[in-house]
Structure formats: structure tokens, C-alpha cells
Amino acid sequence: MKIGFIGLGVMGKSIASNLMKAGYSLNIYTRTKSKAAELTAKGAVWMNTAGQVAAASDVIISMVGYPKDVEEVYFGENGIVDHAQEGSVLIDMTTSSPLLAQKIYEQAKARNISALDAPVSGGDVGAREARLSIMAGGDPEAFERVKPVFETMGKNIVLQGEAGAGQYTKMCNQIAIAANMIGVCEAVAYAQKAGLDPGTVLKSIGSGAAGSWSLSNLAPRMIAGDFAPGFYVKHFIKDMTIALDTAQKMGMMTPGLELAKTLYEKLAADGAEDDGTQALFKLFV
């Protein structure tokens, strides 16, 4: 089975490496060719467009940046959908719009091509260590066919429903994080302003009802003044924008998400868009 891989950012490169380690042959394309050097040195085959990768592969995986990049690689000139072979499976692992995932699914289906949306959580470390959580949407048959591929990159692999369900699930993930980040920042800032030692406060509150991944993993970085990414502020804003757009289309109120998006946009406007998400703390001190 030949796998095409499009998009070799931090996440994509780790996932592609794990596929090669598992013995898969890779055809690769990414916007910045220099990012492919490490993989071509190991035997991956460089191609000049996403369409060429698609034409030469049985399973085509994309992991790019923004929904507009997904649009481009799937539907642009030399795009995946026009060039993929009948019977192939497309997998978009970018965190992107559920509606765009449904569009890819429909257009691919019209050409007898399967498509799955399969965004992940777990970050750069999870990608490197093949411990990603993979949330998929699409047809069960396609999901089962590529499950061995997913198993080279993640541990918690769940088909959440029809096309778009993976993206909707990832939005649930980002929505839960969004409001919680505000609470974590406020708790740490309150501790400091009250004259407490925030590290000692974490000993009391970290493992009970206030406990969260963000409190355990990001609060210590806030306290240490370490704002390196991790997960970029600019990417989190992208995700919250998709979440808010889709929530509004569903007619639901999301005051916590709206507040988080507003605060993160202020943070980015202050010049922190390339910081990690824990940099939100800067607004509170």
C-alpha cells in the first residue's frame, strides 16, 4: 500500500516518520520543499503537487494549516480530489471545518473515492510518540480499511460518526479547553495576587474537582514565565473561529467560547500569536 502524505509541519513530519517506520512507502508533497529533506533522505518520494501525490497513492493523508489550505490541496489546481484514483481513501487530519469535511466527502464520493476527516489531539509529543487521539468521521468501511494506518500514529482511535463528525468532535475538544484556559489563568493570577505560592496552591487543588490537563501541564509553565509553544495561540484562534461559526449555525449560545476567543485575539494583537496557549496568562497579571 502506497501512502501519500501532504503537509510536513511539526505534526505532519512526526506522523509521516512513524508511517515509514511501520514499513509504508510514502509519496510526499509540502509547500516548503526543504521540510521534506529529512524524509526523502529516508526514502520517501518527493512529488511536485498534491495531485501527483494523490494519483500515485492508495491512501492520501493531508495535515496542513488552515481551512483555506485544505481547500487548496483538495480542490485547487492540481488538487487531490481531481487526481486521486477510484477506490482510494482520502484522510484529512488537519483541524478544519466540519462543513468542508462534508464537502470533501461528497465530491470524493462522486468519483468513487472514500474520504475521512480525522483530526487529532495530543500535540507534537503525542505525534512523535505515536500516542495521538484520533477522532474520525466518514464511512465505517473506509475507517476499517485504514485503521492499521491510524494505529501507527495513535492509541485512542474512534469513529465518531458520518463525514464531519471527526471535526465536530475536535471542536468539542477545543471548546472544552477554551473556557478552562480562562479559569486556569484566573486561578493562578488570583493565587499570586493573594500572596500565595502558586506552586503550593497547585498541590492542594491540582488533583481534585478543579483538576484538569491544563492546570497540571500549563499552569506550571505560566508560573515559570515559560510561554513557548506547545500549541500556538494563532492555531487555537483558528480552531475557536471554526467552533464559533459552526455553533452559531447550530443556533447555540457559547459565551465561554466567545470570551476565550476575544481574550486570545487581544493576546495575539499584543504580539503573542506565536506563543503557546498558556501565554493567555499575560493578560491576567
What are the CA-CA distances from residue 170 to residues 95, 114, 122, 162, 236 (Å)? 7, 21, 11, 14, 12
Preceding amide of 230 cis, omega within 30? yes
Among 1, 37, 224, 259, binds a second copy (CB under 8 A): 259
**What's the Cα-to-Cα distance from 269 to each of 25, 37, 262, 283, rounded to whole Å?**
43, 34, 11, 12
First-last CA distance in the chain: 53
Residues between 94 and 123 with contacts to a second copy, criterion CB under 8 A: 98, 121-123
170 in active site? yes
Please list every residue from 10 through 69 that binds a second copy, using CB under 8 A.
Answer: none
269 contacts a second copy (rule: CB under 8 A): no
C-alpha cell, 169: 468532535
Pick out residues in 177-206 that bind a second copy (CB under 8 A). 177-180, 182-191, 193-197, 200-201, 203-205
SS3 label, residue 241 = helix
The single residue among 23, 209, 269, 271 that binds a second copy, judged by CB under 8 A, is 209
Integer angstrom CA distances of residue 149 from 25, 36, 214? 12, 20, 30
Q: Should residue 272 be labelled a site residue for a second copy when binding is judged by CB under 8 A? A: no
Q: Does 231 bind a second copy (CB under 8 A)?
A: yes
Which residue number, 112 or 207, has a Cβ lying nearer to a second copy? 207
Our CB check for a second copy shows the closer of 36 and 215 to be: 215
Q: Whole-number minimum distance, CB 165 to a second copy, in Å? A: 6
Report 67-96 residues binding a second copy (CB under 8 A): none
Strands 114-117 and 89-92: what pairing?
A: parallel
Question: Which of positions 121-180 make contact with a second copy (CB under 8 A)?
Answer: 121-123, 126, 133, 135, 156, 158, 160-161, 164-165, 168-169, 171-180
The x, y and z cell numbers of residue 87, run together, are 477506490
**Residues acting as catalytic residues:** 170
